[in-house]
Amino acid sequence: MPKSNVRVIVRARPTAHFGSENFTFNEASDSIDMRLPKDQASGHVNNQQESWHFKLDKVMANATQEQVFDCCAADVARSVMDGYNGTLMAYGQTGAGKTHTMTGGHVGFQDRGIVARSISLIYAEAEARRQNNTTIRLSYCEIYNELTFDLLNDIGVSEQTGDLQIVEDAKGSIHVRGLSMPIAANEEEALHIFFQGDTNRHVAEHALNKGSTRSHCVFTIHVETRSKVESTEKVINSKLNLVDLAGSERLKKTGTDGVMLKEATYINKSLTFLEQVVVALGSKNRDHVPYRQSKLSHMLKDSLGGNCKTVMVANIWPEANKIEETASTLRFATRMMKVSNEATVNVHLDPALLIRKYERQIKDLKQELAMHDTLAGRSRVQYEDYSPDELRDLEAKIKMYLDGDVSDIEVSSLRMVYEAFGIFRNLYRQKCTELAERPFETATGADAEGAGAADGADGHADAPLSGEVGEDEEGRGIAVGVAPSGSRPAQEDRGPVTGDGGDLADGGRTQLGGGGAGQAGGGDDERAPDKQVAFADWKQKEGSMFEEDFEKIRDELREKRGAMKDAMVMANGKKREIDDAKERLARKQSDKEAEASRDEELIDEEEFALIKALKDTKEQYKMAFDSHREMKADVIQIERAMQQCKTKLVQAFEESYDQRYGYLQKQAEAGDGDGERLDPQEAFDQMQAARLETQHPDALAYHRARKGAARAVRQKGMR
């Protein structure tokens, strides 16, 4: 699956002053406008920002729990059943409705949150997919004051040490070592486990929220799927992380102290580190991402920039006195939209099941071989490893075969071939060891005396000289002897030698290994020149006309491509201007609807100017688009002309080369057979590649890559 950015949905908490002059929710364009009038008490010089505009993936101003689930979590939960990892997290200030969104309210069944609805959907999907065996496990952990607690442990949270370790496996998946993962057989049992763990969370009351959660909680649904139809060793493991983050809060507004002050400090610290991770992931020039600065960012490593489909619900509280926290939440949301993940199906093979499968296959194959041998009359075939006695019997047969006592050895199985080759290897090594340990027999005895007699006596004609080759007296082999000093001829005196060892008095040539082309009979060594050299020389002389036409067409093509690129840039710019004008016009119309009852359909000067600017921009965009289309057609036509010119150039050179050196080339290729004839385009590419290799060897790969990329761009533009 290709990379996709984190999807961000903004959910506004319904309040008594909802839709005031400070907030404008544009659900049609999924944007939010905030306005904060300047404080007059600050004086005349006041650079305070008055307005903000945020563009999100989805804005839900007054949505029900069901609408939020269908928009945010339904697709992610279904993809978990297909093998993808998913993460749904709620972020926002204290009291904005994060826990209400994730866990739900206390009104009734329709008020349940994303966690309960996700559990219901996953079990419904598992029931519908009867071709699979699905095992669902649940885990629930809490990060409180940078300590990790297990909310599903039989031991209470107060009795735990909080030292659970967050680890990463070889595939980059994050796990909490020692975390309880009970199996839930049905939806009811899963909901029971969730509610049981939810009661163990740290909750406190302060000025902004009567039931403020003081920790980050991660409820995870682990799904293991095995097919009943396909191989059982193929296992698909996926998980759905449902994250309820603690609320970001300003201490001066909550009025906390003591233990709650410490909790708020850890909460703000971990959320700050989380924002640093998001900023690092959204930056193109950052190589290091500080995941390990906090346990929260470490636990969410595969959810942010990893193998996961991630959706964040940014909860805001649209009140005038909460505008600073709301702006902070929306800024974080826009940064989160820049984080990209690459989700893939988590498939692996169970090693224990694979071993059992291979053992069954081996057993079945051995039984089939035994049945086949019995039907073929070969009832004593050995397929298992040979015993020591059987190896000795086989070694005796091989030695008899090597000594010539038997003419052949009957091969009864592949195992016998393996064992026989092993015995051959051992015998070979033994023989090599014996030869290496045998004393080296040199000509230090009788040979040395014979050599001295030859040097100082009358010298019999049949006495072997030192350095000659002959048989020894005992007939034990060939005696090489020692070459006398000064017997090596000087390098400058060495010349061709005839078959009988004499010099060639006439200075003739000697053919070694059959000779070469053009050497037989003492003829001249005339060969056809290299095609690259001939091509370069031909282009400067006879082919200058073709070369000039080719360069002229290439210059024209370069100019047209530049103009086409400029037209495309202009068209894209006008398209962006159209989008901006549409957004300004929609914003103006929405403001106008909010201010008046619209009894009369009147258009003021500002709205008329926006409509006129939009119309003019559309006309300019159409002109730029038509210009780009016409230039694109011209570029295609010029490329065809360039291809035709290139073909003519190569054909003309081939004809000229064949006329001059065709007979020499045929003589050179007479012994090699007919080669494959290249078409003009292949011949041109081959000559260009050889030229690039001659100029700079490293440039060939670069130019090929550039050429392939340009071809891909052209094909994409034609589509």
Residues 261 and 250: their CA atoms lie apart, in Å, by 11
Positive or negative, the CA dihedral 339, 345, 351, 352 is positive
Tell me, what's the pLDDT at 630?
A: 87
Q: Output the 3-class SS for 29-76.
A: CCEEEEECCCCHHHCCCCCCCCEEEEECCEEECCCCHHHHHHHHCHHH
The residues pairing with 134 across neighbouring beta strands, listed in sequence order, are 225
Q: Residue 563 has what pLDDT? A: 87
Q: What is the reported pLDDT for 207?
A: 46
Q: Assess contact for 279 and 335: CB atoms under 8 A.
A: yes
504 Cβ partners below 8 Å, 6+ apart? Answer: 495, 496, 497, 498, 510
Helices assigned H by DSSP within 283-381: 295-299, 323-336, 351-375
Give the per-residue pLDDT at 277. Answer: 92
Here the tokens at position 250 are 């300003």
pLDDT at 57: 92
Q: Which two tokens stand for residue 378?
A: 């070969």
Q: Using an 8 Å Cβ cutoff, are 261 and 214 in contact? A: no
The whole-number pLDDT of residue 183 equals 94
Tell me the pTM. Answer: 0.53
Give pLDDT, residue 142: 92
Query: Alpha helices, DSSP H only, in 206-282?
Result: 251-254, 259-282
Phi, psi of 96 (to 5 degrees): -80, -10
Architecture of domain 4-38+50-349: 3-Layer(aba) Sandwich (3.40)
Q: Which two tokens stand for residue 666?
A: 């045929």
Note the pLDDT of residue 705: 46
Please list the ranges in the chain whose pLDDT falls under 50. 207, 441-484, 487-525, 598-599, 671-675, 698, 701-702, 705-706, 708-710, 712-713, 716, 719
Say how far apart CA 247 and CA 332 lie, in whole Å.
Answer: 13
> Which residue type sits at 106?
H
- The reported pLDDT for the residue numbered 39 is 67
- CB crowding 44-54: b at 16 or more within 10 Å, else e: eeeeeeeeeeb
Residue 91: what pLDDT? Answer: 93
- As a whole number of angstroms, the distance between CA 607 and CA 468 comes to 115
Where do the structural domains in the chain lie, given as residue ranges? 4-38+50-349, 351-437, 531-592+605-670
- Widest pairwise Cα distance in the chain: 144
Pairing of strands 86-92, 58-60: unpaired
